[in-house]
Structure 1
Amino acid sequence: MKMKGLVALVNGASRGIGAAIAREFGKEGAKVVVVARTAEPGGRFPGTIGEVAAAINEAGGEAVPIQCDSTQEDQVERTVRQTLERYGKIDVVVNNLGVMIVSPVVSTQPRHFLLGLRVNVYAPFLMCHYALPSMMEQRSGSIVNITSGAAWSRNGSNYAATKAALNRYTICLADEVREYNIAVNALDPGPIRTEVAEILQPPDHNWSAYAPPRAMGPPAVFLAVQDAKSFTGQVVRREEFRKTWPPVGNP
């Protein structure tokens, strides 16, 4: 198992991409901390942190759910503290948070623009801010930020700006923590047929180009086990895994 003995905190893991990554980590032997806001069923979208953690445990892995609104500093600090109290370390952080504000600038409410910044940029910063000291002390770890191809888009300026900011943050942070042997990378999922996407898209939507959430598992596992000497400071696409990245010779 590629992640045996590692402690992985997966943020935004109650459904979709985050849940799929959490399950894959569990299958690969990691102790998984399943983090998201949704702890109780009955909301607009299916999936809870408890359900994801239970699925990992039932499959023979180890997982614990922690409810957290990652835009709130006190909740992020508590989540990291509880993880360290339970396991004594954090080896991997996955920031899988996202809110998509795609309306034209003139019709976007300022509060909605700020929401995009808080969820897509500020929340990953908070998790890194509180998780990194432990990683720096142990001189190892990996941070995986889930980004979007929208960062290179010529439309949807609000959402594109936040994901472009996350990409730049990833690249800069990688250099900042390189001396501590911590890898920091961003992974672009491409089109994924998540539960939320199925609800939001019209019934006749063409899903032929979409991958299932489980397709995110293998590339996320690869990034999770990297360090600053092997693979860091990269923004990579899920569709290109084992094609254009990683470099030849990196297993």
Structure 2
Amino acid sequence: MTTLSGKTLLITGASRGIGRAIALRAARDGANVAIAAKSGVPNPKLPGTIHSVAEEVRAAGGQALPVRCDIREEDEVRAAVAATVDAFGGLDILVNNASAIWLRGALDTPMKRFDLMHQVNARGTFLVTQACLPHLLEAPDPHVLTLAPPPSLDPKWWGPHTGYTLAKMGMSHVTLGLAAEFRDRGIAIDALWPKTIIATDAINMIPGVDPAMCRRPEIVADAAHAILTRPAREGTGRFLIDEDVLRAAGVTDFSPYAVDPSKPLLPDLFL
């Protein structure tokens, strides 16, 4: 299958950035997209809301359901999943994209920030996946795709920002564990991570990053599309890199994904 036509996706953190790009790529196939995020009303500091992305999804050819959902709140998550299934008759794909970032050392990490990252990243990924699993188990070709890096114990990723690395690697370990648990149940549970830094609002949290040295979110969206259109029983528990996925799919020219093709690219964290 090379299209997501008629498939139903629930995407967390889909009001901007990579989540929005994945939603729009699915919409071009005619998919049903539940846009789950906290951004229900415009924020002067951050572009995009669940409603603005829903309009873009419909304009691109998909069906859209904007769902305001804080993935730290179990009741909101279960209500969002129920609303998605009610609206579209089922659920085929979950994309765990929502994430919180704070790249500081231990002495500069308030516990409020530490708790937020763990509630959103590791716990949120587990909670949303848990809520979706009963519906995914009924789908003919179900996928869970989490935006998380390959697991690593390399101290160079832990020393500078233990709190963030622990929370982000938590998403990776949730992927590892659930893929093993459901290996024989037909759900592909994989992770995807960019080879380079992606130009999203999150780069404002990374000191000294020039957006011109980044790639656009569309590269991650195209890689996600390539993964999600493969048969679920083809593999699970994989930690995939966007550029590698697209090379395997026959892409050779990556310059269109660059914000400024004349600039060198910055490698992403954890690679």
| TM-score > 0.5, shorter chain as reference | yes
Matched residue pairs, number? Answer: 244
- Overall identity of the aligned pairs, in %: 29
Q: CA deviation at 1:225?
A: 2.8
Match of 1:216 among 216, 220, 233: 220
Match of 2:246 among 236, 242, 246: 242
Q: CA deviation at 1:223?
A: 2.1
SS in 2 for 1:187: strand
Uncovered stretches (5+) of structure 1, i.e. residues with no partner? 247-251
Separation of aligned partners in 2, 1:137 and 1:200:
39
Match of 1:95 in 2: 96
Match of 2:164 among 159, 167, 174: 159
Q: CA deviation at 1:96?
A: 0.6
For residues 211-249 of structure 1, what are the alpha-carbon distances to aligned partners after superposition, in whole Å with 9 as ceiling and x for unaligned? 101111111112223444212101111122234x57xxx
Match of 2:47 in 1: 46
What are the equivalent positions in structure 2 for 1:47-196 lying under 5 Å apart? 47-138=48-139, 140-148=141-149, 153-154=157-158, 155-189=160-194, 190-196=196-202
Q: CA deviation at 1:87?
A: 1.2
Match of 1:4 in 2: 5
Q: TM-score, normalised by structure 1?
A: 0.89
Higher deviation after alignment, 52-61 or 218-227: 218-227
Separation of aligned partners in 1, 2:186 and 2:122:
23
Could you tell me whether the CA contact under 8 Å between 1:20 and 1:213 is conserved in 2?
Answer: yes
For residues 157-177 of structure 1, what are the alpha-carbon distances to aligned partners after superposition, in whole Å with 9 as ceiling and x for unaligned? 111111212112112211211
The structure-2 alpha-carbon separation of the partners of 1:150 and 1:213, relative to structure 1 and needing over 3 Å to count, comes to: farther
CA RMSD of aligned residues (A): 2.3
Separation of aligned partners in 2, 1:121 and 1:196:
18
User: Which AA in structure 1 matches 2:74?
Assistant: E
Uncovered stretches (5+) of structure 2, i.e. residues with no partner? 250-271
Separation of aligned partners in 1, 2:147 and 2:177:
16
Separation of aligned partners in 2, 1:172 and 1:227:
21
For residues 74-131 of structure 1, what are the alpha-carbon distances to aligned partners after superposition, in whole Å with 9 as ceiling and x for unaligned? 0000000111111121000001111112221133222221111101111111111110
Q: TM-score, normalised by structure 2?
A: 0.83
